[in-house]
Amino acid sequence: MLHDRALIEAAREGDEGALRRLLAISQPDLRRIAASQCASAADADDAVQESLWQVYRRIGALRSISSYTAWLFSIVRRECQRMMARMRGQVELPPADDVVFAYYPRMDLRIDLAAAIQSLPDKYREAIILRDFEEYSISEIAGALRLSRAAAKSRVHRGRELIREYLQD
C-alpha cells in the first residue's frame, strides 16, 4: 500500500483534485481491509464509503504523511467495528489494554476507566465514545446522533461528569 507522498501532501493542503485522486487510489486498499474486518460484503462496502467520507473530511488533520496508511487502516477498522456494534445494538468500548487507554500508566486505572465508560447509560456512552475515542467534533456528534449541537454538548458533558463520579467512588 504505497501512496505518493506529494499527492498526500497536496490533498492535506486542500488540493481538491489531489484529494479525489488519492481517494480513488486508496479505495482498493480500503476494500481489501474492509473485506477482512467487516462481517459481510455489504458491511464492507458501507465501511469503505464511510471511510472515504472520513478521509475526505479529515485529511487536513493528518499529522504525518508517512502515517497515511496506518490512519487509513484505523479509519476502516473503526467503521467495521462500529457497524458490528450497531448490529448488536450497542456501542463497543475498546478493551482496557487498548492503545486509547495507554496514557494511563496503571492497569487498574485503565480497567476502572473502561468500567466507568461501560456503566454509562447508552446515550452518554455513545457521545463519550464519539468525542473522546473517535475524536468527532460536537457538530459531527450532533449529526451522527441526530441531536442539536447543544444536546450533543450536554451529553458529552454529562457523560464526563458521570465518569468522574464513578471514579471518585
Q: What are phi and psi of 2, to 5 degrees?
A: -100, 130
User: CA 119 to CA 44: how far, in whole Å?
Assistant: 30
pLDDT of residue 21: 93
pLDDT of residue 154: 94
pLDDT of residue 102: 44
Domain count, the chain: 2
User: CA 159 to CA 153: how far, in whole Å?
Assistant: 10
pLDDT of residue 64: 81
The CA distances from residue 73 to 43, 78, 143, 145, 146, in Å, are: 16, 9, 24, 24, 27
Last residue of a domain, one of 33, 54, 88: 88
pLDDT of residue 108: 62
Asked if residue 93 is part of any domain, the answer here is no
Q: What angle do CA 4, 9, 10 make, to 5 degrees?
A: 100
Asked if residue 94 is part of any domain, the answer here is no
Asked if residue 48 is part of any domain, the answer here is yes
126: domain range?
99-168
pTM over 0.85: no
pLDDT of residue 149: 93
Stretches in the chain below the pLDDT threshold 50: 1, 90-91, 96, 99-104
pLDDT digits (tens, 9 = 90+) for 43-74: 888 889 989 988 888 888 887 888 888 888 88
